Structure 1
Amino acid sequence: MALVSLTLSGCGATSGGTRLTDQEETLSRQMQDRSLAPATPDERAAIRNQDLLTQAAFWAEAYQMNPADREAAIELSGVLRQVGSAARAAEVARQSLALYPDDTQLQARYALALTASGQGAQAVESFNRALSARPDDWRLHNAYGVALEQAGRSERARARFLEALDLSPGEPAILTNLAMSHMLAGDPEEAERLLRQAADHDRAGPETRQNLALALALQGRFAEAEDIARADVPADKAAANMDYVRALMSTNRSWDRLRESELSGLR
């Protein structure tokens, strides 16, 4: 069952500090062959229109050339998180914070990367510092809610999601996260209500519908849940998902198991 809806931008964890991947090494060498001079402001502005891997190689080269380059650290951390290297993104931001401890952009990058790698409890202070400079940023409030949920502070997490909704009413990402927090607390009825709101939005993704199916299944409404699940996954997969939920509900620790499954997939 795809339990993935307490979300940030797509990120995964890797190890190895700030070492480049093979693909990044290749692109970096190509750039070095063209010129070893630092990129101009125009080149830095233009790179943001390129694909994420090209951006990662560009900013990695700039950062390696000058580890004190604040802009390169901010951009590299953000791009690494988006391409699935959350642990490396956190390391880049952490190293740069040693030079710029009061920089709230770096604090935000560090908090987001920690949360994307499942270390939300460690991100709380950085979220607080980042939000002191950007109190109206609904994305930061939403991500902070995910971090708090990871830290087991569910009531505070839901408060953050509600703050995010005040700033961006009807945003499906926030509604989905708030719904999943209620589901993890054992309230699938409230989760269903919120997920239906999210699913009606033009930007709602398949994860919203899959989690709506989960909320219905946890109420014993398996036929309805399977119909919704089939909108995004093959029929056999939808049926397998329902079998998983039935097995989950047959144990005395069903909500604990659901929470463990959900939190292990937070990214």
Structure 2
Amino acid sequence: MSKIRSRLLSGACTGLAILAVSGCATAPSKMTTGSIPKLTKPVETMNETELQTASERIGKAYDANPKDRDTGLAYANILHMTGRDPQALAVMQQVAIAHPSDRSVLAAYGKAQAAAGQLEQALATINRAQTPDRPDWKLYSAAGAVLDQLGRSGEARTNYRMALDMQPNEPTVLSNLGMSYLLSGDLKTAETYMKNASQQPGADSRVRQNLALVVGLQGRFDEAERIARQELSTQQADANVAYLRSMLAQQDSWKKLASKDKSTKS
């Protein structure tokens, strides 16, 4: 279940997401302000070559001014997207030192810690960013994602519901809540939340990929593949389907589900 746990959407502001294949829904994907190089498309839709080019460009801007908040956040996000989580954590450590009271920085730092496997430290950092007088739904969602990875599903769901009280029908939180039920084996409830999430305005392809996963885990593979291919280029869709297959295969479930799917049609 380790790869499935890593697919939780943090939904928590300008930095890193815990989702395995892309950045946060509210991350600065169209980076056009300050000293950050302007990108031609959101990082979530970039292929490997485009991500590498973006990494080099933003890396140079970061080297020129490592204390710049937005550049550091953007660079850490790109590093996470390209699988360089230890380097992303190192960048966020420097940004957090330069901006120790910035809640968005602390939240991104916490998510970088989680992505690097430092779950207890991540939870402490995210909780430090949360304040009772000015609670932030994104921080509740981020804390929930870490708690789910720690196996503390009850506490995680409490945090998700507090986030939804503040931000009703937020797709990233609904998807996280669905993933929480998936992790506990309640696939029907998981699908209900994920379908709801995918139907909300602002739901992106990452939300739909989580829906595809839970549908595939129930043996409806053709439907899962259709969902995984929605609104994406052929290259991106093929990558998503390949990733979906790898997720299912980690428990040797791909062949079993494919066989079950065929038997229901015969």
TM-score between both structures, scaled by the size of structure 2:
0.62
Structure of higher RCO (CA pairs closer than 8 Å, 6+ residues apart): 1
Cα root mean square deviation, aligned: 3.8
Inter-CA distance 48–61: structure 2 relative to 1 (3 Å threshold) = closer
Q: 2:37 and 2:228 mapped to 1: Cα distance?
A: 35
Q: 2:177 and 2:101 mapped to 1: Cα distance?
A: 31
The runs of 5 or more residues in structure 1 that have no matched partner are 13-43, 64-68, 252-267
Counterpart of 2:9 in structure 1 is 7
The runs of 5 or more residues in structure 2 that have no matched partner are 19-31, 40-53, 257-266
Aligned residue-pair number: 209
2:53 equivalent to 1:58: no
Q: 1:20-169 counterparts in 2 under 5 A?
A: 46-48=34-36, 50-51=38-39, 53=55, 54-63=57-66, 69=67, 72=68, 74-85=69-80, 86-95=85-94, 104=103, 106-132=105-131, 135-169=134-168
Letter aligned with residue 90 of structure 1: L
Identity %: 32
Stretch deviating more after TM superposition (179-188 or 147-156) = 147-156
Counterpart of 1:248 in structure 2 is 253
Over residues 108-160 of structure 1, what are the superposed CA-to-partner deviations in whole Å (9 max), with x where a residue is unaligned? Answer: 33212212334322211111110127843222222222222222222212221
Inter-CA distance 213–98: structure 2 relative to 1 (3 Å threshold) = closer
Over residues 42-97 of structure 1, what are the superposed CA-to-partner deviations in whole Å (9 max), with x where a residue is unaligned? Answer: xx96325733654543343223xxxxx5xx2x334412221124433432443565
Contact 2:157 2:177 in 1 (8 A): yes
SS in 2 for 1:204: coil
SS in 1 for 2:114: helix
Contact 1:11 1:81 in 2 (8 A): no
Contact 1:77 1:109 in 2 (8 A): no
TM-score between both structures, scaled by the size of structure 1:
0.62
Counterpart of 1:179 in structure 2 is 178
Q: 1:226-241 counterparts in 2 under 5 A?
A: 226-231=225-230, 233=237, 237=241, 241=245
Over residues 172-198 of structure 1, what are the superposed CA-to-partner deviations in whole Å (9 max), with x where a residue is unaligned? Answer: 111111101110111001101101101
Letter aligned with residue 173 of structure 2: I
SS in 2 for 1:147: helix
